[in-house]
Amino acid sequence: MEKAAAENDDSGSVSLLVIVLDTNPSQRIVRQNPDNLSQCLDATVAFGNAHLMQKAQNKLAVISCHHHATDFLYPMPVKQLEVRQVDGQYEVFSLVEKTVKQRLSHIITNAPKITQPNESLLAGSMSMALCYVARMQRNAQPGVKIHSRILVLTGSNECASQYMTYMNVFFTAQKLGIVIDVCALDKSLSLLQQGCDITGGQYLRLTQLDGLLQYLLWVFLPDPKTRQMLVLPPPTKVDYRAACFCHREMIDIGYVCSVCLSIFCKFSPICTTCHTVFKVPGPLPPKPKKKKKV
């Protein structure tokens, strides 16, 4: 009786995985060898399908983060592609693969040409992923619990210019109970690492692309509950430095507005965020005199 109840309970839970894939051609790994993007794409598709394979009710979304826009690679926003079964492959797998590849080639063909490396709109893409998760949770059938997580796969460098959006994403995700996982393919990303730490996700930095799929399957495929029972890479020390609001650079020590908690690297008499006026620090003033009536 109890076992049956537990099984019923399990069938009412759905796992939603949103993969944010950085497809920006400015990434160092892509500039060095364009084939690396295909490798990341193949690994993403195989990983997404592995997630779908675990349970028939599992849901998947793939978002492409480009230098000019963020777009859904899967599912299609309006009408799904029509796929027939090929070689006995489960139709959903072929649907994921075909849709992702078709959409991405469309995005790459129509992207504006760039002359110099551009930053990826990662924070924006993650916001879009959050919106999608929120919509799925709102539209879920009564009694169905959706466990959601976002996996970011990127070889971009960190942009402190997106600091505010990142922080909004991280704390919103934490509030909604959404786990953020990050797989860094190039430099280490301290801001995204903070996001993983805040939401209870896993951060992994790879120094080479060989075996990318194996790493994804090992570290990111198990759901957060199962991960506690596995031996995963030990957590690294998180760099909790903040970016100043004036220059968007990471700083160790700075000034904090006592009203809105904005951070500045230099003293400024007016807070640019909330326009509070501060007194210029100087020698302590002599005893305050009573104001004279004018």
From 19-27, 99-107, 182-190, 267-275, span contacting Zn ion (CB under 5 A): 267-275
167 binds Zn ion (CB under 5 A): no
Q: Which is nearer to Zn ion, 140 or 265 (CB)?
A: 265
Answer yes or no whether residue 94 interacts with Zn ion by CB under 5 A.
no
Which of 108, 144, 176, 274 touches Zn ion (CB under 5 A)?
Answer: 274
Residues in contact with Zn ion, shown as a per-residue x/- string from 225 to 264 under the rule CB under 5 A: -------------------x-xx---------x-xx-x--
Comparing CB distances to Zn ion, the nearer of 78 and 253 is 253
Q: Which is nearer to Zn ion, 277 or 284 (CB)?
A: 277
Nearer to Zn ion, 102 or 165 (CB): 165
Residues 170 and 180: beta-carbon distance below 8 Å:
yes
Residue 17, classified by CB atoms within 10 Å of its CB into exposed (0-12), middle (13-18) or buried (19+), is buried
C-beta of residue 202 within 8 angstroms of C-beta of residue 228 = no
- Residue choice 107, 111, 164, 265 for contact with Zn ion (CB under 5 A): 265
CB of 228 to Zn ion, least distance (A): 40
| Residues at the site binding Zn ion, with contacts judged by CB under 5 A | 244, 246-247, 257, 259-260, 262, 265, 271, 273-274, 276
